[in-house]
Copies of this chain bind each other. A is one copy, B any other.
């Protein structure tokens, strides 16, 4: 092959077949990493063996794919050389700026978390520039940590609790952080691009690769509020403005208790963290609670000891949550729900109720009973999802990395 590769592709064309094929081949390697050969890719994609070979060579030269020593076994004939994603190539940096903690993590091409660091500290006391400096420092240490593992950051993504404008990569409004029209990504390393999105959305993506590659599901994130991330065919659905997944203020009961949003009987008033605390008889004084974890752990402790008020509160929350989710499943025809955030910690008591309600109220249940699953990651989910979204971008357009 040519030693000096292609240098400047103008790439004005609307459709770039080579890029699409490179992505196709790379994603097939990712799906069966270490278990697939060039011929296998050719067979599964429908491309010619020679074409698949050429694509794989380019991916190997680009540092995305490697040949493992192993050979794929077959009945007869020459065994193929197994291909796998490199775990020392590009990596994604994920940052999660929340009200009471900040998390950074680095994920390699295989989706494995290679570095993770969570700092529990209330950000409300700091200035904007103070927080941004903090982020920059954390990100810098993450980069050096990645470099020692042989990883190079290809991009970064930031999760924030608020509304974002992805096209301009700015935070439109994050009330709990006191941010408004702020560019967060400029302080980050990883020169390629800085992605930005809502926490619930990135948290939803943290489950994407664990399930089937093109899965569709609803990720519910319980916090003070209740949010959801909608994943369709393995990709986030963001809606026309990027505000999708607002289920916290779906009306459960028009005559229910008043909500700060101005309506009555919102889901949050039944299944939000504050509501569960109040129903369980726990003081929800913000002065004493240091963040999400301790109070939720307290509830879980009480439930384990069999406290009736707590158990009743959790049952009620699970019922209402399940009924609301069933409605969402009916609208979207989704067969899978993932419970994240506080619902993950309270899953032993919440999940059965949700499962029952969903199984009862989902119209397609007789033919396809929906499944309810507990999230794999806790508070680090948004950061991991953010980092994985960077990896996802590489998998869907490897040329950008190869031409870097």
Known: A17-B17, A47-B14, A246-B333. A323 touches B251 (CB 8 A): yes
A20 at the interface (CB under 8 A from B): yes
A368 at the interface (CB under 8 A from B): yes
A245 at the interface (CB under 8 A from B): yes
Q: CA separation between A334 and B332, bound complex, in Å? A: 13
Q: Which one, A233-241, A284-292, A395-403, is touching chain B?
A: A233-241
Q: Do B216 and A335 have beta carbons less than 8 Å apart?
A: no
In the bound complex, residues from chain B placing their C-beta under 8 Å from that of A252 are: 254
Q: Do A12 and B331 have beta carbons less than 8 Å apart?
A: no
Q: What 1/0 flags go to A346-374 for Cβ under 8 Å of B? A: 00000000000000110110011000000
A contacts with B, residue count (CB < 8 A): 50
Q: Do A330 and B249 have beta carbons less than 8 Å apart?
A: yes
In the bound complex, residues from chain B placing their C-beta under 8 Å from that of A237 are: 232, 332
Query: Which single member of B12, B14, B330 contacts A24 (CB below 8 Å)?
Result: B14
A253 at the interface (CB under 8 A from B): yes
Known: A323-B254, A361-B263, A363-B261. A243 touches B45 (CB 8 A): no
Closest to A323 in B: B251
Q: Do B241 and A364 have beta carbons less than 8 Å apart?
A: yes
In the bound complex, residues from chain B placing their C-beta under 8 Å from that of A48 are: 12
Q: Do B253 and A254 have beta carbons less than 8 Å apart?
A: yes
Known: A261-B363, A327-B327. A242 touches B14 (CB 8 A): no
In the bound complex, residues from chain B placing their C-beta under 8 Å from that of A24 are: 14-15
Q: CA separation between A363 and B242, bound complex, in Å? A: 12
In the bound complex, residues from chain B placing their C-beta under 8 Å from that of A330 are: 246-247, 249-250
A247 to chain B, nearest CB (A): 6
A13 at the interface (CB under 8 A from B): yes
A53 to chain B, nearest CB (A): 15
Q: Do A20 and B12 have beta carbons less than 8 Å apart?
A: no
In the bound complex, residues from chain B placing their C-beta under 8 Å from that of A136 are: none
List, sorted by A's number, 19 A–B pairs whose CB atoms are closer than 8 Å.
A13-B46, A13-B47, A14-B24, A14-B45, A15-B15, A15-B20, A15-B21, A230-B332, A232-B237, A239-B332, A241-B333, A242-B333, A243-B364, A244-B332, A245-B331, A249-B361, A249-B363, A251-B327, A331-B331
